[in-house]
Chains A and B, each alone.
Chain A
């Protein structure tokens, strides 16, 4: 699949799709969207890039192996759950800052939890797909 059109398109599509994914992630609390969908869209973006430009260049682009996203995301989610415990509240009780940001809305631990989910989903989808395509193709 070395179509020039696809290759060129994917170069523009990747940032756009990633931006879209992040947008979906952040609006998740108010509109349809969220970490799962955002993560999946981001992984589709990378998969598309890999189809067009080859796996190696996508890996280079990512800089870290996709597997690294998983522990990162898990850690973010877990920490966002643990954070309230330092304030003496039970595990995973939501804490909010009263700063309002456009699109994102309020800043709080559930948002970070969702970001964690986002990274885990990217990591898992890419790990699975990259591993399979590397060993088979």
Chain B
């Protein structure tokens, strides 16, 4: 299982490295990967009937974070969608982007995305789920911004990443909260503690965080605006990520958490309200768009709204409807997107008003479009009809507000139907304009995938039992559906649901024939643009940019000493404040002091004098000489206070440093004579304060009792274990040998740096 998930990542690397063959004629090869995975998952489908499959992998067991995987109905549905539609999209993309300079990169991103998506739906651990969740956001960022030479692509990719990233961040908070509240990160074990979580005092926060993640990812109002923007991505991406899979990740999350956090009033009401608003808002917006992909984007948001809404209703019927509708929508929407992509690819435009009569030149595409549109409309005998039936069934029997909910659902479905017809039927109907006469059918890789998807929509519609027991019921059980509901059927007899379906169809068709999509209403809605969530987000980010600019300029003066001063002032103030407030400074004469002998005092005096000389002198040779005196005196201190190794090292290093200085220094100019008394005084005060703080801290540290356990260990074991009598050396080469190895490596790097700096020839330097 883990291989199935990770294969996408491996393949991504291979794809990245094999640019040439992919660009030439081997573009179809990447499609083999999702196909294989699809077959693999499909073969596991029968096993699902006897309960979910679980796969155990350890990751960070000490923190309760395992890479466990679980394949239940919900995961299976998503896996099949991801790999199945993935196969189509990979094929489609290989033709759509044929010869593109960065096709290999595209496949790399795409397979990373696929792997991340698979990992996310299979993860049985909140942390794992979160990691894959973020990976989908990141790969989506690269895919949206694939045409990275266009400004709008970069902007919209960034927007999508900002929104989904912010949501992901909150989701992480939610995962940690849930994990610490329940004591487990395993989703499977969370099912058992659902009751505890719902009673938890922080339940509201958990909901908030999970919702934030789900709503941003699934483009729910008010975070919907990144999705239409994401349509700048190449169409295969739109078909794959932004209709069938990634945007459904939020739905997946909500569905996954329905049995854990769901079935409470806050959960249901929030989801119903947000889903309802999203449905109506975006369905209404889709009327005003003339770009095929934008129409589809808004109708996708509407469909996602329906799903959130259904999860919000939360009855058994609603859960079943949601389970079925995920599949219904994925099938027709991916097909419609691909059709729109073909039109764009062949004619160069996506404007609904311009595309007409194309059915005559590319009939298989038209067939795919027609079937998908019919399914989206919910015409009887299609899978969409069954999906819509279930939705109405669910809203009609909702525990409260049944009529209102049904009205909302009917209205939305009318608009969705309209959008589907616009994309799937209008471009193919009517007279073929002159300029499109010479068009002909594109390669099979472009039109087979949408056709298969659309046909599946019909096949499943005619034979609902194909999907019912094996898949949809499994999904239904895994998202917490309990009651037994009647099987999916083509025909339910004459009842209210059928009446509502009829109303939807008739009203939608009327709308389609009477109202051509136009931007006529745009000025009206544009007035409100200033208050749209998108505008507000942009404003906020601008303000943030301004602030950080100001902040950066404030602290980044570019003067090294300004940086040093800021750091020193901060440390001094912070530590000084703490010292003044909390610490009693005293000097314990009895325990701390060891007598000052004459040579101590002499050495001390010499050091002081040397330091003074090195600071005050205006001659460089004096400064270096006094520095070396400081070094040698410290060396003496090491000798006196029983550190012969240190003394030897200090002595030799000091000698070498002097040589170094002598070599370099005379090529540097003499000290600048800058004697601003005020500045010197200011710096002196600052430095003195800092020195005082350090001294006091050292004093405090000395006053604290210390344990000598580590030293004792080395002292006792140096000879016994390491057969050495010089404990310091034994530590360096034996006990802490690894540190020393790294240290000499660091020194090597320093030497390399010196070597390359000196040997490097820069144009403006001539003497070297």
Which residues of A pack against B, CB within 8 Å? 24, 28-37, 40-41, 43-44, 47, 67, 70, 73-74, 77-78, 81, 91-92, 94, 96, 105-106, 108, 110-111, 113-114, 116-117, 120-121, 123-125, 127-129, 131-137
Asked if A124 and B750 sit within 8 Å, CB to CB, the answer is yes
Asked if B722 and A110 sit within 8 Å, CB to CB, the answer is yes
Asked if B726 and A32 sit within 8 Å, CB to CB, the answer is yes
Known: A34-B729, A44-B652, A136-B663. A123 touches B740 (CB 8 A): no
Q: Closest B residue to A21 by CB, please name it.
A: B652
Interface residue? B518 (CB, 8 A) = no
Which of the residues B660, B725, B744 comes within 8 Å of A31, measured between beta carbons? B725
> Which residues on B sit within 8 Å (CB–CB) of A70?
748, 751
Asked if A124 and B751 sit within 8 Å, CB to CB, the answer is yes
Interface of chain B residues 709 through 729 with chain A (CB within 8 A): 722-726, 728-729
B731 to chain A, nearest CB (A): 10
Asked if A40 and B726 sit within 8 Å, CB to CB, the answer is no
Asked if B726 and A29 sit within 8 Å, CB to CB, the answer is yes
Which of the residues B664, B728, B733 comes within 8 Å of A136, measured between beta carbons? B664
A20 to chain B, nearest CB (A): 11
Asked if B663 and A31 sit within 8 Å, CB to CB, the answer is no
Complex Cα spacing A125 to B659, Å: 11
> Which residues on B sit within 8 Å (CB–CB) of A132?
660, 663-664, 754, 758
Interface residue? B487 (CB, 8 A) = no
Asked if B725 and A29 sit within 8 Å, CB to CB, the answer is yes
Which residues of B pack against A, CB within 8 Å? 644-645, 648-649, 652-653, 655-656, 659-660, 663-664, 667, 722-726, 728-730, 732-734, 737-738, 740-741, 744-745, 747-748, 750-751, 754-755, 758-759, 768
List the count of A-B residue pairs having beta carbons below 8 Å apart. 138
A44 to chain B, nearest CB (A): 6
Q: Closest A residue to B665 by CB, please name it.
A: A136
> Which residues on A sit within 8 Å (CB–CB) of B751?
67, 70, 123-124, 127-128
> Which residues on B sit within 8 Å (CB–CB) of A135?
758-759, 768
Q: Closest A residue to B652 by CB, please name it.
A: A40
A76 to chain B, nearest CB (A): 11
A74 to chain B, nearest CB (A): 7
Which of the residues A30, A81, A133, A136 comes within 8 Å of B741, measured between beta carbons? A81
Asked if A125 and B758 sit within 8 Å, CB to CB, the answer is no
> Which residues on B sit within 8 Å (CB–CB) of A94?
722-723, 734
Known: A92-B738, A132-B663. A121 touches B732 (CB 8 A): no
B188 to chain A, nearest CB (A): 37
- 16 example contacts (A-B, Cβ-Cβ < 8 A) are as follows A29-B723, A32-B644, A32-B645, A33-B726, A40-B656, A44-B655, A67-B751, A77-B741, A77-B744, A81-B737, A110-B730, A113-B734, A121-B744, A124-B744, A127-B755, A131-B754
Asked if B733 and A110 sit within 8 Å, CB to CB, the answer is yes
> Which residues on B sit within 8 Å (CB–CB) of A32?
644-645, 648, 726, 729
B625 to chain A, nearest CB (A): 17
Asked if B733 and A117 sit within 8 Å, CB to CB, the answer is yes
Asked if A127 and B741 sit within 8 Å, CB to CB, the answer is no
List of 8 A-B pairs having minimum Cβ-Cβ separation, nearest first: A32-B644, A40-B652, A29-B724, A124-B751, A34-B729, A30-B725, A110-B733, A120-B744
A58 to chain B, nearest CB (A): 13
Asked if B737 and A29 sit within 8 Å, CB to CB, the answer is no
> Which residues on A sit within 8 Å (CB–CB) of B744?
73-74, 77, 116-117, 120-121, 124
- The B interface, classified by DSSP as helix, strand, loop or mixed, is helix
> Which residues on B sit within 8 Å (CB–CB) of A37?
645, 648-649, 652
Asked if B748 and A40 sit within 8 Å, CB to CB, the answer is no
Complex Cα spacing A116 to B729, Å: 14
> Which residues on A sit within 8 Å (CB–CB) of B644?
32
Known: A70-B748, A120-B747, A135-B759. A30 touches B656 (CB 8 A): no
Asked if B645 and A33 sit within 8 Å, CB to CB, the answer is yes
A67 to chain B, nearest CB (A): 7
B768 to chain A, nearest CB (A): 6
Asked if B723 and A120 sit within 8 Å, CB to CB, the answer is no
Asked if A137 and B663 sit within 8 Å, CB to CB, the answer is yes
Complex Cα spacing A133 to B664, Å: 8
Which of the residues B656, B729, B732 comes within 8 Å of A129, measured between beta carbons? B656
A111 to chain B, nearest CB (A): 8
Asked if B740 and A117 sit within 8 Å, CB to CB, the answer is yes
Q: Closest B residue to A32 by CB, please name it.
A: B644
Asked if A110 and B724 sit within 8 Å, CB to CB, the answer is yes
> Which residues on A sit within 8 Å (CB–CB) of B649?
36-37, 40
> Which residues on A sit within 8 Å (CB–CB) of B725?
29-31
Complex Cα spacing A15 to B723, Å: 30
Q: Closest B residue to A126 by CB, please name it.
A: B751
Complex Cα spacing A24 to B651, Å: 14
Complex Cα spacing A30 to B728, Å: 10
Asked if A131 and B733 sit within 8 Å, CB to CB, the answer is no
Which of the residues B656, B664, B732, B734 comes within 8 Å of A47, measured between beta carbons? B656
> Which residues on B sit within 8 Å (CB–CB) of A113?
733-734, 737, 740-741
Complex Cα spacing A110 to B653, Å: 23
B634 to chain A, nearest CB (A): 16
Known: A32-B644, A77-B741, A92-B738. A131 touches B755 (CB 8 A): yes
Which of the residues A28, A40, A78, A81 comes within 8 Å of B653, measured between beta carbons? A40
If A116-B744, A128-B660, A132-B754 are given as contacts, then 13 extra A-B residue pairs at C-beta distance below 8 Å, sorted by A number, are A24-B648, A29-B724, A32-B644, A34-B645, A37-B648, A44-B656, A47-B659, A67-B751, A81-B738, A114-B729, A120-B747, A121-B747, A131-B758
Which of the residues B722, B729, B730, B738 comes within 8 Å of A33, measured between beta carbons? B729
Complex Cα spacing A111 to B733, Å: 8
> Which residues on B sit within 8 Å (CB–CB) of A40?
649, 652-653, 656
